[in-house]
Amino acid sequence: MNRQIFTWEIPLYRLKSKELWWEWFYVLILFCAAIFLFSLNLGALPLRDWDEGTFAQVAKEIYESSFSHWHWLFPTIWQEPYLNKPPLIHSLTAVVYSFLGVSEFSTRIIGATLTASSVPLLYLLARELFLPRYYALFSSLAYLTMMPVIRHGRLAMLDGATLCFQLLLFLCLLKTRRDLRWAFPVGLSLALICLTKGWMMGVLLGAIAFLFLLWDTPRLLTSFYLWSGIILGVLPVVAWYAAQYLYYGETFIHTAIQEQSLNRVFTAVEGNQGAVWYYLVELIKYPYPWIFLALWGFKLAWENLNWSWSKFILISSSIYLIVISLMGTKLPWYVMPIYPSLALAVGVALGEVKSLPSYISYPSAWKQFFSLLTVAIMGGFIYFAITKPEDQHLLTIFILLFITFLSVTILLRKKDQQFIPVLFWGMFVSLMVFFSSNHWLWELNEAFAVKPVANLVNEFVPKDKKVYINFDYERPSLNFYSERQVTAINEEELKQLIKSPNYLLVNHKILESLNLVSDKDNIYCNLSDNIPEQSTHSFNCFEAVTKPKSNFTLLKPIQ
């Protein structure tokens, strides 16, 4: 058996010691840059619906329960079984809560750290595929500066952790081709994926790994070490699922296996549907400018099918994209596992252009593309300078992107290789400004701010009382901050509940339209029950309480 650990150490006795130090230096620098970008302004914004609010509540209940209550193995949400996903990352977050307390930062830091770790992992993976180091550097830097990777990796969700374990799986698999000892971490990586995102993700990524080996290194498919590692890795997954079935019975099969897994393949769960090209649109919308360079890299991969890097890029991206495109449920973050393959394709494109002879000019399509981007960014700056001149963060981002793309365009026309570091640095600084602003979590603008409403509930509503809110849907983030479930009701249900002493959160406009009379002390009484106006201590009367920045008024029953 070959006893080498790293393929780029071949042969080890001929490698200068300073080269090995350089490798670990790049790994350290990439991780430091990643953890800085992923943790910047991480706890400044509230948790969003739906995943973050649900994730935080599950982690909080694990944290608040005793270890002997086994909530870390059988998690709950509002004291009901939580059967959506395995609780590995939730439990790690609960451990963080015990040190840092419950906050937005402590809720997001585990996912952010694991996603940041995927950046050096991608570098090491690329070193297994490419001989020149700069291919690996370009790939990892492109991955580091992909906005969707950073944005979703910073959220309290499971997709960033899945990216980390996915890259660990593929890295170990590539190393197994030359050192069979790495077969055992292959199984561990599969177990981490299954215990994070569920068994279906493990099966899908495992199938992609199998197809790659079948095409690239079929001899490994008969390796005792590989299958031993996989079996050892699968054992804790089987044990966890068996424990859930023994504890919950058929409820676990119906909810976790069928509703939360298989149904997502064949139906649009919770109305999350889209066309077959849904994810193609997602890939076109966000990872600029890398998507254009990635297409160039895919073209090069198709022209070099005899190389392992080509096989890996094509297999890992195409199979996954086809599967999720055919699924009934469509969600933006399902496309996340494709981004490492896109980054590798970008690394190929930039590496090929860097190695072009001096007498060959750079592709004209690149010059035209960055020229067009420069014009588009200038147009965006002018538009927002007119419509939102007070938004300094947004205008600064546009200025930085304009300078970056203009500089890249000029350097491309001069055939100057400095366009590559200029592009990476410009994107990094632009993203740094973007994530230091409040714009990175734009979903918060889709509905009312939950924190002022939650403060209203926590201050004026006893813990044992139910609260109702006149809104279209229930918000998990509001439940989390209110430390109780706030039930969403429509206007008809509100008119019925107002006849009895309930705690009601009512929009200011709706309050004016209700059949209530009020006095100077913010006391509202229900006219439909013929309550005299002077009888303000009736159960049919409410005190109206509000807070600054709150879109809702709390109707507090007068006892």
Rounded to whole angstroms, how far apart are CA atoms 431 and 448? 26
Q: Which has the higher per-residue pLDDT, 550 or 334?
A: 334
pLDDT of residue 18: 64
Burial class (CB in 10 A: 0-12, 13-18, 19+), 541: buried
Dihedral sign from CA coordinates of 545, 550, 553, 554? negative
Q: In terms of domains, do 434 and 472 share one?
A: no
Write the DSSP string, 462-513. Answer: -TTS-EEEESSS--HHHHHHHTS-EEEE-HHHHHHHTTSS-EEEEEHHHHHH
The reply to whether 3 falls in a domain is no
> pLDDT tens digits for 412-465?
999 889 999 999 999 999 999 999 999 999 988 888 889 989 989 988 888 888
Q: In terms of domains, do 552 and 468 share one?
A: yes
Find the helix or strand (DSSP H, E) in which 424 lies. helix 419-435
Q: In terms of domains, do 391 and 522 share one?
A: no
Rounded to whole angstroms, how far apart are CA atoms 463 and 356? 69
535, pLDDT greater than 50:
no
Q: In terms of domains, do 397 and 314 share one?
A: no
pLDDT of residue 520: 62
Question: Which range marks the domain in which residue 419 is found?
Answer: 364-442
> pLDDT tens digits for 342-360?
999 999 999 999 988 878 8
Domain termination site, one of 426, 442, 458: 442
High-pLDDT (> 90) share of the chain, %: 58
pLDDT of residue 286: 86
> Does residue 102 sit in helix, strand or coil?
coil
Give the pLDDT mean for 201-213.
94
Domain termination site, one of 400, 423, 442: 442
13, pLDDT greater than 60:
no
Largest CA distance in the chain: 96
**Number of neighbouring beta carbons within 10 Å of residue 360:** 9
The reply to whether 9 falls in a domain is no
Q: In terms of domains, do 479 and 373 share one?
A: no
Domain termination site, one of 442, 462, 477: 442
Write the DSSP string, 296-354. Answer: HHHHHHHHTTTSHHHHHHHHHHHHHHHHHHHSS---GGGGGGGHHHHHHHHHHHHHHHH
The reply to whether 61 falls in a domain is yes
Its pTM stands at: 0.91
319-325 contacts at long range (C-beta below 8 A, 24 or more positions apart) = 319/207, 319/208, 319/211, 320/204, 320/205, 320/208, 321/279, 323/204, 324/279, 325/276, 325/277, 325/278, 325/279, 325/280
368, pLDDT greater than 70:
yes
Contact between residue 518 and residue 544 where contact means Cβ atoms under 8 Å apart: yes
Q: In terms of domains, do 438 and 454 share one?
A: no
Tell me the pLDDT of the chain averaged across its residues.
88
The reply to whether 10 falls in a domain is no
Tokens for 500, please give them.
């009895």
Band (pLDDT 50/70/90 cuts) for residue 168 is very high
Provide the 8-state DSSP code for 256: I
Least confident of 98-102, 305-309, 444-448: 444-448
270: which residues sit within 8 A by CB, 6+ positions away?
Answer: 329
pLDDT of residue 528: 57
Q: In terms of domains, do 478 and 437 share one?
A: no
The reply to whether 163 falls in a domain is yes
* 208 phi/psi in degrees, rounded to 5: -65, -45
The reply to whether 6 falls in a domain is no
Residue type at position 242: A
Q: At what angle do helices 199-216 and 224-248 cross, to 10 degrees?
A: 170
261: which residues sit within 8 A by CB, 6+ positions away?
Answer: 198, 199, 200
Dihedral sign from CA coordinates of 299, 305, 310, 311? positive
The reply to whether 269 falls in a domain is yes
Tokens for 299, please give them.
């073209």
Q: In terms of domains, do 317 and 351 share one?
A: yes
* Domains in the chain, number: 3
> pLDDT tens digits for 24-63?
899 999 999 999 999 999 988 999 988 899 999 999 999 9
534, pLDDT greater than 60:
no
Least confident of 107-121, 286-300, 507-521: 507-521
Q: In terms of domains, do 399 and 503 share one?
A: no
The reply to whether 234 falls in a domain is yes
Beta bridge pairs of residue 524: 518, 542
Q: In terms of domains, do 164 and 302 share one?
A: yes
> pLDDT tens digits for 455-480?
899 888 888 888 998 888 889 999 99
Closest residue by Cα to residue 344 from 303, 310, 305, 307: 310
Q: In terms of domains, do 92 and 37 share one?
A: yes
Least confident of 264-268, 413-417, 451-455, 522-526: 522-526
Pairing of strands 80-81, 76-77: antiparallel
271, pLDDT greater than 80:
no
Q: In terms of domains, do 477 and 539 share one?
A: yes
Band (pLDDT 50/70/90 cuts) for residue 310 is very high
